[in-house]
């Protein structure tokens, strides 16, 4: 009897220790972390683990500044509350971050970068009033550069979900869920970008495109910008598309008009299959471990009591 009680107390104590240790990993780094061009991490002790060219976040952080090329930065489902900035780098993968936007400057920002992949991140406005959140927030912002890929991201409650600026070109945007934003995708002075297999849902305006303005005589002429909104066989899902699908192939019979110069020739009738954010918060697994341990000990303890009562009855 005493041994069973002692075992129960011991396992409860060990479960609490395990839960506490797992929570220690979530201590937030309250300063910008720098990954220098030589691969070093500043400051020393920042919550990033390096294994060769792979950098993995081990705790929440404010912001991260990446100055190194040829690397992978894995957010490991941790949270950033300020800018993830990449400047003048190439061949970098950014994945698995949860980014909660708090101000105009907070976003995933690429400046003059090429061959950067931004994958499987959740970018969302902070939990404030809808008007305040949307009026301050930018999501994924690409300024200059070319040949970048944005895929598998969930982008919600932004003023601009994704923005292409300063003549960035030849980028691919596919497999993203872009919903509840003032503008889902904004394109400023950029063209030759490919956008397909995305979900554009319940944005105030799904796509906004504007070119450079040139004054000719008494008129202001806007340069037309050509971008592609399908891959030749499938386009995007638009929640405000009201076309028909008479042959049942899942593709709308008429094009979705983006603007005068751009259209989706193969609009999808149903949303594409895009993975959602995890259903459970990050502290759930260790809590479940603790509960299972307690239940297991309780079962063992009750069985021992039952056996002891049977022995007492036989005597």
The pTM (predicted TM-score) of the whole model is: 0.76
Q: 291 and 165, same structural domain?
A: no
Q: 4 and 121, same structural domain?
A: no
Q: 297 and 213, same structural domain?
A: no
User: Domain range spanning residue 308?
Assistant: 1-26+283-315
Q: 238 and 170, same structural domain?
A: yes
Q: 272 and 291, same structural domain?
A: no
Dump pLDDT digits (tens) for 127-140. Answer: 444 444 444 578 99
What does the DSSP assignment read for the chain? -HHHHHHHHHHHHHHHHHHHHHHHTT--B-S-EEE-TTS-EESTT-SEEEETTEEEE-S-BS-EEE--SSEEEE-TT-EESS-EEEES-EEEEEES-EEEE-STT-SEEEES-EEEEEES-EEEE-SS-HHHHHHH-EEEEEES-B--EEES-EEES-SEEEEEETT-BS-EEES-EEES-SEEEEEES-BS-EEES-EEES-SEEEEEE--EEEETTEEEEPP---B-S-SS---EETT-----TT-SSB-SSPEE-SSS-EESS-BSS----PPPPSS-TTHHHHHHHHHHHHHHHHHHHHHHHHHHHHHHH-
Portion of the chain with pLDDT greater than 70, in percent: 70
Strands 71-74 and 154-156: unpaired
Grade residue 218 by pLDDT with cuts at 50, 70 and 90. confident
Q: 64 and 82, same structural domain?
A: yes
Grade residue 1 by pLDDT with cuts at 50, 70 and 90. low
Identify the pLDDT of residue 223: 75
Q: How many Å apart are CA 98 and CA 124, to the nearest integer? A: 8
More confident residue, 161 or 285: 161
Average pLDDT over every residue of 212-232: 80
The region of weakest confidence among 24-28, 111-115, 197-201 is 24-28
Q: How many Å apart are CA 220 and CA 157, to the nearest integer? A: 33
Q: 294 and 175, same structural domain?
A: no
Dump pLDDT digits (tens) for 41-65. Answer: 999 999 999 999 999 999 999 999 9
Q: How many Å apart are CA 64 and CA 89, to the nearest integer? A: 14
Mean pLDDT of all residues belonging to the chain: 81
Q: 218 and 178, same structural domain?
A: yes
Q: 241 and 207, same structural domain?
A: yes
Grade residue 291 by pLDDT with cuts at 50, 70 and 90. very low
Identify the pLDDT of residue 219: 74
> What is the number of structural domains in the chain?
2
Q: 237 and 193, same structural domain?
A: yes
More confident residue, 12 or 103: 103
Q: 308 and 241, same structural domain?
A: no
Q: 289 and 272, same structural domain?
A: no
Dump pLDDT digits (tens) for 81-129. Answer: 889 999 999 999 999 999 987 666 668 999 999 999 999 999 997 544 4
């Amino acid at each position: 009897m005493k041994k069973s009680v002692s075992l129960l107390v011991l396992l409860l104590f060990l479960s609490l220790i395990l839960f506490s240790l797992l929570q220690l990993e979530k201590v937030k780094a309250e300063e910008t972390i720098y990954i220098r061009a030589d691969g070093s991490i500043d400051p020393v002790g920042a919550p990033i683990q390096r294994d060769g060219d792979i950098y993995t976040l081990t705790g929440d952080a404010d912001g991260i500044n990446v100055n190194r090329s040829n690397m992978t930065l894995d957010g490991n489902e941790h949270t950033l509350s300020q800018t993830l900035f990449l400047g003048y780098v190439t061949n970098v993968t950014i994945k698995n971050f949860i980014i909660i936007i708090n101000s105009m400057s907070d976003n995933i920002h690429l400046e003059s970068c090429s061959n950067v992949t931004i994958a499987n991140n959740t970018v969302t406005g902070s939990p404030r009033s809808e008007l305040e959140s949307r009026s301050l927030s930018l999501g994924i912002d690409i300024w200059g550069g070319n040949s970048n890929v944005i895929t598998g991201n969930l982008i919600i409650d932004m003023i601009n979900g994704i923005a292409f600026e300063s003549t960035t070109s030849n980028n691919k945007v596919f497999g993203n869920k872009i919903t509840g934003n003032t503008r889902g995708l904004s394109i400023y002075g950029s063209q030759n970008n490919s956008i397909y297999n995305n979900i554009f849902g319940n944005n105030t305006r799904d796509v906004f495109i504007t070119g450079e303005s040139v004054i000719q005589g008494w008129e202001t002429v806007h340069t037309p910008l050509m971008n592609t909104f399908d891959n030749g066989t499938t386009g995007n899902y638009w929640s405000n598309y009201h076309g028909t699908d008479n042959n049942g192939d899942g593709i709308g019979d008429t094009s979705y008009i983006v603007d005068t110069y751009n259209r989706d020739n193969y609009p999808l009738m149903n949303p594409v299959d895009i993975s959602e954010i995890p259903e459970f918060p990050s502290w759930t697994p260790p809590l479940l471990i603790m509960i299972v341990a307690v239940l297991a000990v309780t079962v063992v303890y009750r069985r021992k009591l039952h056996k002891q009562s049977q022995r007492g009855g036989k005597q």
